[in-house]
Amino acid sequence: MHNLPFFDLAIILVYLIGMVVVGIYFSRKNKSAEQFTKASGTIPGWAIGLSIYATFLSSNTFLGVPGKAYGSNWNAFVFSLSMPLAAWVASRFFVPFYRRTGEVSAYTHLEKRFGPWARTYAVVCFLLTQLARMGSIFFGIALSLQALTGYSMETVMLVTGICIIIYTVLGGMEAVIWTEVVQGVIKTLGAVLIIYLIVTDMPGGFAKIMEIGQNDNKFSLGSYAPDFTQATFWVVLLYGFFINLNNFGMDQNYVQRYHTARSAKEAAKSVWLCVGLYLPASLLFFIIGTCLYAYYDLHPELIQSIKNQVALERLPATASTADIAQMAASLQPADYGDKVMPHFMVTKIPAGLVGLIVSAILSAAMSTISSGMNASATVFSEDIFKRYINSDLNDKKGLLVLHLATVVFGLLGMGTGIAMIGVKSILDIWWELSGIFAAGMLGLFLLGIISRQTRNAEALTATIIGVLVILWMTFSHLIPVELEQFRSPLHKNMIIVIGTLTIFLVGVIVTKLRNKTPIAAITPAYQKEKTLQ
């Protein structure tokens, strides 16, 4: 790490070693599959809440949100505003449901409800979502650390990934949660420190930042027009509600934590603690993006090196100096927003503080990746290995499967991150991929718990139709221009909204046609969920 002063390097190394030590410490108690996946249900609610908050606050937030705010406005903050309603649904319905079933996997009940195909479909969607999440986060930390260290993005991902794999394999869910508690604090303090450093180095201070932000419409939450073809306020609000509903209701990362709590009440409190922390924390990162925009607006000469770097990444190695200059001149703020904060860290943050902020960025990444590895390994063990290969595993063999699966998914996540090198926006690519993969899962889940009389055939029919709609919306931009009337007119963030509603509504309608009964008759109160058992 030849570009970093020794003191900064020491801070980063101490942090990485500390995370590995935590894994070693908890490995003493990690003697069974239940301990690895549930921490034996002994974690206090406040720690689980901080852990969920740390998972939400990934490097996609730490780097992607400031980049998005720099390149556009605060439209993406509407995603955070949708969380309280999704949290209410989760704490009221989802948490009690999962605590009653006692199943460590979020998808076991789908097989009981609709058959093996439903469980397998949800598992595939979840694992693809995890690869997209881990890949985008690996890419995010590599983007930042490459600027600081000069090492290739592939090397950064490999070193970071190995550290995460070690403490996740050794310590299991308990190590994941307690490291995330620490990481949640570190990354929040890191955000506050970055704002302080920008404002103190800004001519005119915070007042000037506000002035520039207002003049250039950087605080806008988006258009309030009822337009679903663009990223309006309503499109992001709907996207946020559905994706957060999926997070709290179908994502193994969060469902698994409900089982680590001492009671259902503690688990529900953890959801609300996460929301209470994430809302103001995400606002901090939008403030960072606007502060950076104002700072570089007063220092336009600093932008040229960023533009040249982006142009070099997008053009082939044979590109001439003239080609690079032409490409750099055509770039807009949205094209290089993700690069601005790493550039500021390299050029403007004093020695000693860089190590702290890099540790905060690593915290943002490692918290989400470690939970993703653990959750993916748990799903593989419960829903694939035990279901289709060997259901009779003792603790020793069960732990071995979980350990090997953790390593494999960690390596696959790194590979996905490497494949993402060169994307325009971390946040955009993550939102798009998560919306595509999550849409089918959420629609099927809601159909299973709300429509009581829907059976296997109706659910399968609805899912097939829903997947076709999702595929059409995802790939309709590939339809030739002469057939553009067959393209989806909706914004890509609407994929999860339309996909979820299609599966749910088609399932309800087909069930109604089969029974020839009013729809109201097939949607009784959720409290009767025990009839599924």
In sequence order, the β-bridge partners of residue 43 are: 261
**CA angle in degrees (0–180, nearest 5) for 245-247-252:** 135
**Burial class for 418, CB neighbours closer than 10 Å (0-12, 13-18, 19+):** middle
Q: Does a structural domain hold residue 173? A: yes
Q: What are the backbone angles phi and psi of residue 332, rounded to the nearest 5°?
A: -105, 165
Strand, helix or coil for residue 118: helix
Distance (Å, whole) CA 462 – CA 443:
9
Q: Does a structural domain hold residue 468? A: no
Distance (Å, whole) CA 237 – CA 392:
45
Distance (Å, whole) CA 366 – CA 141:
9
Distance (Å, whole) CA 374 – CA 164:
11
Q: Are 465 and 514 in contact (CB under 8 A)?
A: no
Domain holding 257, by residue range, is 6-420
Instruction: List the CATH number of the domain containing 285.
Output: 1.20.1730.10
Which of 25, 101, 71, 170 is CA-nearest to residue 530?
101
144 Cβ contact partners less than 8 Å away, ≥ 6 residues apart: 59, 63, 341, 342, 345, 358, 361
Block residue for tokens 């509504």:
505
pLDDT of residue 508: 93
Q: Does a structural domain hold residue 469? A: no
- CA 336 from chain center: how many Å? 21
Find the helix packing angle between 153-200 and 264-298, rounded to 10°: 70
Q: Does a structural domain hold residue 500? A: no
Q: Does a structural domain hold residue 1? A: no
Distance (Å, whole) CA 111 – CA 109:
5
Q: Does a structural domain hold residue 15? A: yes
The number of CA neighbours under 13 Å toward the Cβ of 223 is: 8
Distance (Å, whole) CA 384 – CA 404:
14
Domain count, the chain: 1
Instruction: From residue 503, give the alpha-carbon distance in Å to each of 18, 116, 162, 191, 463.
Output: 46, 18, 39, 40, 5
Q: Are 157 and 414 in contact (CB under 8 A)?
A: yes
Q: Does a structural domain hold residue 485? A: no
Written as tens digits, the pLDDT of the chain (533 aa) is: 446 677 888 888 888 888 778 777 777 666 666 666 666 566 787 888 888 887 777 766 777 788 889 988 999 999 999 999 999 998 888 888 888 877 777 788 888 889 889 988 888 888 888 888 888 888 877 877 776 767 778 888 888 888 888 878 877 777 777 877 887 888 788 888 889 989 998 888 889 999 999 999 999 999 999 999 998 999 999 999 998 988 888 878 778 778 878 888 888 888 898 899 889 988 999 999 999 999 998 888 888 888 888 888 778 878 888 888 888 888 888 888 878 887 888 788 787 787 887 787 777 777 778 888 888 888 888 888 888 888 777 777 888 888 899 899 989 988 888 887 766 566 566 667 766 777 778 888 888 888 888 888 999 999 999 989 988 988 888 888 888 888 889 988 898 899 999 999 999 999 988 877 554 444 444 444 444 44
pLDDT of residue 238: 94
Q: Count other C-beta atoms under 10 Å from residue 288's C-beta.
A: 25
Q: Does a structural domain hold residue 429? A: no
Q: Are 291 and 69 in contact (CB under 8 A)?
A: no
